[in-house]
Amino acid sequence: MGNMVDLRSDTVTKPTAAMRDAMCQAEVGDDVYGEDPTVNRLERVAAELLGKEASVFVPSGTMANQIALLTHTQRGDEVFIHRDNHIYFYEGGGAAMWSQATFTELAGDEGLMTPEELSDRIRPRNIHHPRPRLLSLENTHNRAGGAALSRSRLMPLVEVAREHGLAVHLDGARIANAAVALHVSIASLTADMDSVSMCFSKGLGAPVGSVLAGPKDYIDQARVYRKWLGGGMRQAGILAAAGLYAIEHHIDRLEEDHVRAARLAEQLRRAGYQVDQPSVPTNMVMVNLDRDATEVIQHLAAQGVLVSAMGPRRLRLVTHLDVTDADIDRTLLEFSQLKG
C-alpha cells in the first residue's frame, strides 16, 4: 500500500532492511528437534526479558494465549477475564475449541475489573460451580486505548487471585509499550504473573512471532500443546532472528510512536474530535464519532489514510515503526477536512 498512511494497527509494519538482513544471516536447524540455534537463543533471551525460567516461540499472539489457557486449565475450569480483553473479544471463541474453559467476564475502566468485583465473582468450591482456575489480564490494554497498567494497579487483582488459588496469565502482546510508557523494566511488570505472552509482530516490527513465557515445567507442557495446534515450526530461526533483532533495536524507539500518538490525539481534539482517553499513554488513539464509523473509514481510505473501527461509532488509530511525522500531519489534514 504505497503512499497510504496505515494506522489500522501496529501489526502492519514491514521488516526493515536491517531486520531482513538479520533474518537472512540466521543460523537455522529443525526446531521440532530443538535444534534451531536462533530459536533457542530467542527463547532464552525472551525468558530473561520477561523474568521467567523458560519461553516457547509460537507463530502468533493468539496461539500464545490459547496455549496459555490450555496449559493452565482443565475442561470446564473457570477463567476470570475482562470483557474487552483480546482473548475474550478477538480470538474467535477459540477457547471453546481448545481449552474448553468457562469464561466469567467482568467489566471496568481501562481493561480492569475492581478487586472487590473479582473477589465477589469467585464462588466457593461446591459441586455446582466450575473450578475457579485463572485470572487473565492484558497490558497494554488494546480496547482500553493502549492503557499502560502499572504494577500497583495490577497487584490488588493478583492478590485476590492468589487468595483464591488462581493462576494469573498476562496477555503482554504489547508489554514493551507498557514498560516504555511507564519507564520501568518489562520484567517488573511481569514478575507477579505465572505466564506471559509477548508479540514481536506488533510495535516491535517483526513480520511474525510471539512467545509464551513461564516456569520450566509449564513451558514444557506448552510445547506439547504447540505441537497439537500445528505450531511446531522447522527452520524457524529465520523468524526468530527478526524477534531477536526487534528486542535489541526496536524497544526503546517505541517512545517515538507514543509521542506521535500523543500529538495526533491532542491535535484531533483541537480540531473538534472527541478522543476518549484522558491521556494517550502508548501508541493508540481512540476517536468517538457522532456518525457511523464505516462511512468515515471509507472516506479516509479514499484519501489514503487507513484507520480501523473499534465500535459502531469509534475509531482506532495506531502509530508504529512505519508512521512518520509527515504521516501524522497528513492524517490531521484529512480529519480536519472531514470536519469542515
Which residues contribute to the site for ligand TLP (CB under 6 A)? 9, 11, 60-62, 65, 86, 90, 138, 142, 171, 173, 199, 201, 210
The smaller minimum CB distance to ligand TLP, of residues 60 and 288, is found at 60
Nearer Cβ to ligand TLP (122/243)? 243
b/e code 171-188 from CB counts within 10 Å (16+ = b): bbbbbbbbbbbbeeebee
CB 11 within 8 A of CB 323: no
Our CB check for ligand TLP shows the closer of 54 and 317 to be: 317
Residues 6 or more apart from 127 whose CB is under 8 A from it? none
- Cβ distance to ligand TLP smaller for residue 158 or 173: 173
Q: Which is nearer to ligand TLP, 52 or 82 (CB)?
A: 82
Give the residue with the Cβ less far from ligand TLP, 52 or 86: 86
Nearer to ligand TLP, 138 or 257 (CB): 138
Rounded to an integer, what distance in angstroms lies between the CA atom of residue 100 and that of residue 86? Answer: 17
Cell (9 digits) for 164: 483464591
- Cβ atoms within 10 Å, residue 132: 21
CB 320 → ligand TLP: shortest distance, Å? Answer: 10
In the complex, least distance from residue 123 CB atom to ligand TLP, rounded to whole angstroms? 28
**Which residues are bridge partners to 308 per DSSP?**
316
| Shortest distance, position 318 Cβ to ligand TLP, whole Å | 7
- Nearest to ligand TLP of 99, 210 (CB atom): 210
State how far Cα 14 lies from the chain centre. Answer: 18
Instruction: Tell me the closest approach of the beta carbon of residue 12 to ligand TLP, in angstroms.
Output: 8
Helix (H) or strand (E) holding 288: strand 284-288
In degrees and rounded to multiples of 5, residue 159 shows phi and psi of -65, -45
What is the smallest separation between the CB atom of 171 and ligand TLP, expressed in angstroms?
5
Taking the complex as a whole, the smallest distance from the CB of residue 48 to ligand TLP amounts, in Å, to: 22
Do 64 and 119 touch, CB atoms closer than 8 A?
no
* C-alpha cell of residue 251: 524497544
DSSP for 102-149, written as a single string: EEEEE--GGG---HHHHHHHSPPP-TTSPPEEEEEEESSBTTTTSB--
Least distance from ligand TLP to the Cβ atom of residue 105, Å? 16
Q: What is the DSSP string of 185-252?
A: -HHHHHTT-SEEEEESSSTT--SS-EEEEE-HHHHHHHHHHHHHTT---SSTHHHHHHHHHHHHHSST
Q: Is 36 or 171 the residue whose CB approaches ligand TLP more closely?
A: 171
Task: Determine contact, residues 194/169, Cβ cutoff 8 Å.
Answer: yes
Q: Which residue is nearest to ligand TLP (CB)?
A: 61
Compute the least distance from the CB of residue 33 to ligand TLP, in Å: 25
- Nearest distance from residue 340's CB to ligand TLP, in Å? 30
- Degrees to nearest 5, angle at CA 250 with 247 and 254: 125
Q: Which three cell numbers stand for residue 315?
A: 475509531
